[in-house]
Homo-oligomer: A and B are copies of this chain.
Amino acid sequence: MTQQRSLMKVLSGEAVWPPPVWFMRQAGRYLPEYRAVRADAGSFLDLCYTPKFAVEVTLQPIRRFGFDASILFSDILVVPHALGRDVRFEVGEGPRLDPISEADLSSLNVGRIASHLAPVFETVSTLRARLPAETTLLGFCGAPWTVATYMIAGRGTDDQGPAKHWAYAKPEALDRLMDILVEASVDYLCRQLDAGADAVQLFDTWAGSLDVRAFERFVVGPTQRIVAGVRARKPGAKIIGFPRGAGSRLPDFVRKTGVDAVSLDWSLDPVWAAGAVPVPTQGNLDPIRLLGSNEGIDAGVDAIMNAFRGKPHIFNLGHGITPEAPISAVERVLARVRAG
């Protein structure tokens, strides 16, 4: 069955046209049905860890829009939580963690991935059973560098300064944290694949915050080790990379890491990417375009469709959809993509 799912064909290098389409953060606050479940589910982590709720919000955008892929509803910070770190989501404030110190590294427990994240694997297997047969199910995790930025700062930051300080002042300590996160991520992704995910995506939201030497060490290296580790346990597994902000470094990232496909942030010129990136691509409509005029939406969609016509491509946003996005704008994009 997997071979017939359009998104999986693209990940294998086939140019499917019109391209399959899904949206990053498609289960989210722009949907009234999501907000209703969110209000009932308790904390944000309760929502992630309760299969009944997580399955429901994951399915909502599939029911409404018929996206070609469904992505597990979860958060990148469940991994540090599983490793033993305190993680809270405060309303309107974003995530809060106890900032990790070098001395804390030895307390991180990779062995807890299977047990702590068991509800996530249950969500994945339930989703696979309930999704339409033609819908690809994607699992995901945060890439080690991006997860580390939150673990070290204890919160989101403008410039990832605290983690960059580790990168430049005590890179060996950051290497140790990377190694732990690589091991945890491999286990977490393989268990998602075991539970029924068709492919997985690695989100490296803050890849662009490092200079090229540090990018090699803390973005390219750990990603390459995760790809190799997942493939060793799950031969043929398909892995999508997303080093946001990599800019001109993207082709090199793809070649060195061995990812099967790469997601393009909205800042990349799709014409450049179509020529320079040697694997299937996914992206890259600016989600803020959805808040704009119909003409602006159409122009944004057309620029991407024209750039990737005849290439293996998955239409998507270049970043997560925002809570303010009108449903009518999503419908407009989908109609235009599906018209080819």
Contacts and interface: CB of A to CB of B under 8 A. Distances in A.
Nearest to A271: B212
Contact of A303 (B171, B213, B245, B252): B213
A168 B269 contact: no
Contact of A213 (B246, B250, B300, B322): B300
A210 B265 CA distance: 11
Interface stretch (A8-16, A84-92, A283-291): A283-291
Nearest to A303: B213
Interface stretch (A24-32, A158-166, A189-197): A158-166
Contact of A269 (B164, B167, B249, B273): B249
A268 B296 contact: no
A264 B276 CA distance: 21
A50 B164 CA distance: 36
B291 A169 contact: yes
A44 interface: no
Chain A interface mostly helix, strand, loop or mixed? Answer: helix
Given A266-B211, A300-B213, A168 B249 contact: no
Contacts of A292: 165, 167-169
A318 B272 contact: no
Copies held by the complex? 2
B268 A303 contact: no
A272 B211 CA distance: 13
Nearest to A322: B161
Interface in A200-255: 208-215, 245-250, 252
Given A211-B266, A303-B213, A168 B248 contact: no
A267 interface: yes
A212 B249 contact: no
A245 B248 contact: no
Contacts of A209: 267
Interface in A129-171: 158-159, 161, 164-165, 167-171
Given A169-B291, A208-B267, A164 B213 contact: no
A205 to B, nearest CB: 12
Given A164-B288, A210-B267, A245-B245, 8 more contacts: A161-B322, A164-B286, A168-B289, A168-B293, A171-B296, A214-B286, A248-B272, A248-B276
> Which 6 A-B pairs have CB atoms at the shortest separation, nearest pair first?
A247-B247, A168-B292, A169-B292, A248-B248, A211-B286, A212-B269
